[in-house]
Amino acid sequence: MPLVKTWQLIVGSAVAGLALSAAAVATAGPWDSGQRKAERARAASWGRTGGADHAAGALPQAAPSAPGVLAGLGGRTAADGGALAGTLAPLLADPALGTVRAASVVDTATGRVLYESGAGEAMTPASTIKIATASAALAALGPEHRIRTTVAPGAGPGEIVLVGGGDPSLTARKKSPAGSGGSLVALAADTAQALKAAGTDTVTLGYDDSLYTGAVRHPIGRNDNIAPVTALTADEGRPVSASQAGALGADAAAGPAARTDDPSGDTARAFAALLRDRGIKVNGEPARAKAPAGAQPLATTLSTPLAGLVERMLTHSDNDIAEALARQTALAAGKPASFEGAEQAVSEKLASLGVDLTGSRFADGSGLNRADKVSPRLLTGLLAKAADPRHPELRPVLTGLPVAGFTGTLRARNAGSSPAAGLLRAKTGTLTGVNSLAGTVVDPSGRLLAFAFLTANAPDGPAAEKGLDKLAAAVAVTS
């Protein structure tokens, strides 16, 4: 890696709160989502569950975390709004960006508005709405929250019920391509052990996905970018045969792919097969059932902590995780876990953060719905909240943003010799005729700035993306 790119990445990550000093890292060991891996493992080893995600009982306690963000680089002056306006205004006028353009740039440390153009105008944001989805979920549930998938005794002898909690990290593969998360394999092993201990080797399997209500299919209809939204879905509804389950890597868990029409049923059938592999006979085909109220689970598996789900959603623009997090926000607010309930809950939770919601609508969590509306001012307001030391629970909104030239949906954008490579982190948004970019960047004075650029009616999508990249790079180099 060229020396200049390495320097850029280190400086950008430092100001955004992604790294500690070299001495601290050497002493503490590797990090995972802002937490020392050794520290996490040690804390887990003290618990009754031994840190296993699939253990039943109370949620494991979080290990102590590192400070979420480093202090700003001292002695630096704030960015000059006048210079920034002179640089951005001509770039924003580029016809490649379409007929409607709006922009907002703020200093996250002071809240000072450095540049605005139509910043209060609510527009279709595409996937940049995931910043709002992430902020609402983290504010409602906290970064350490985990989602349960359980197996409970059924109503009759020899009956068990697989109960979905809406975990978007749930997988039927032997090794999760996305890291730790809910595991049907581990859940089946624990269930089989519990059944055998009770002298049971034959069961009837039911499955319960009733936690979510309303429409299962996204309003855009059948689409390779999102599976039907149910409370019991393994591998995001991406069909995987038993022979493929252990061989597929991370690439199989991201991006467009054919999806099953019956995620809940497929998940239950995969679970039945895993039980059979472990010596439990399963009679017939799994069918929908309700677990008796108050039934103690036979086994439990836990999702990736919410912070990790948010980071993966933002880095890879994962629509399935986004819709799951919107529904989890609804559940936390006591509202129906539906598109409509999630819209109300997300709006109310964001309002509690004190950001400007004028004209906003959150018709879904992913941004696939063109009825979504947010303003650039709302997006920069949320990014500034995530950088505020008074809101450490929102920090994954920043740490999950792709890094220009390095990760996720920005791997190939502002890459190479771009002055923004490694310094800029942003969420992309793309629908036909809609292009957006919102994130953070370190300016030449060392300040962390939040920016949002929303455009509509661009004649050519790739050309519009290049225009947005120029705007973001300009923020990075203008002082």
Query: Token pair of 109, please?
Result: 């440390």
**Which tokens belong to 319?**
């629509």
CB atoms within 10 A of CB 24: 12
Q: Which of 130, 335, 385, 470 is catalytic?
A: 130
Which parts of 317-372 fold into alpha helices (H)? 319-332, 339-352
Strand pairing of 424-431 and 434-442? antiparallel
| Rg of the chain on CA atoms, in Å | 23
338 is catalytic: no
Catalytic residue among 13, 33, 127, 338: 127
Confirm whether 130 is a catalytic residue.
Answer: yes
- The sheet carrying 159-163 orders its strands as 281-288, 202-208, 159-163, 148-153, 299-302
For residues 327 and 353, the answer to whether their CB atoms sit within 8 Å is no
228/259 Cα distance (integer angstroms): 8
Cβ-count burial of 150 within 10 angstroms (0-12 exposed, 13-18 middle, 19+ buried)? Answer: buried
Q: At 464, list the tokens.
A: 């519009």
**Residue in 317, 360, 375, 436 annotated catalytic:** 317
On whether the CB atoms of residues 429 and 439 are closer than 8 A, the answer is no
What is 75-111 written as a DSSP string?
TPPPP-HHHHHHHHHHHHT-GGG-SEEEEEEEETTT-
Does the active-site annotation cover 317? yes
Catalytic amino acids? 127, 130, 317
